[in-house]
Amino acid sequence: MTAPVPGVWMAAFLVLLVLVLVPLVLRRHFLTVTVSGRSMEPTLRDGDRVLVRRAGIRAVRAGALAVMAAPAEMGRDWMVKRVVAVPGDPVPHREVPALSATRDRVVPADRLVVVGDNLAVSLDSRRFGYVHARQLLGVVVRHLPPSPSRHLAGR
């Protein structure tokens, strides 16, 4: 019987290392979120899945879709909204009634202004004002295909 070749063991070790580390690294920087509710229709529908890149407030641009912690009154953990103003942008006082009382001329450094695409049903900055940077989970980078279970269920 011959001894195992050291190169084979090293290659096997590297493959195993990649199989363990890559998912850990990806999870640290990306996650999937399932949309709940109608506030982002027609862009996103209830049950749609999105790929989210974890990001700080500096990575967010006006027009982007962002995921952030939801206010307690929403009854869910996360919400997906469109960013309409980032730090340094003029405060949209007229479009966002909850900000009409603020004297800020520009959005503060640690805040965002967000709205849903379906204005008729969206709970957003028009009602609760600024979103604080610490609430931000990340930005949507891709709309994912339906999960196999959702497809099989006929949704």
Tell me the pLDDT tens digit for each residue of 81-107.
Answer: 999 999 999 999 999 999 988 999 999
Tell me the pLDDT tens digit for each residue of 44-54.
Answer: 999 999 999 99
pLDDT at 151: 46
Stated pTM of the model: 0.80
Nearest to 47 by CA among 35, 65, 33: 35
If you ran DSSP here, which 8-state letter would residue 103 be given?
A: -
Question: What per-residue string of b and e applies to 142-154 under the rule 16 or more CB within 10 Å gives b?
Answer: eeeeeeeeeeeee
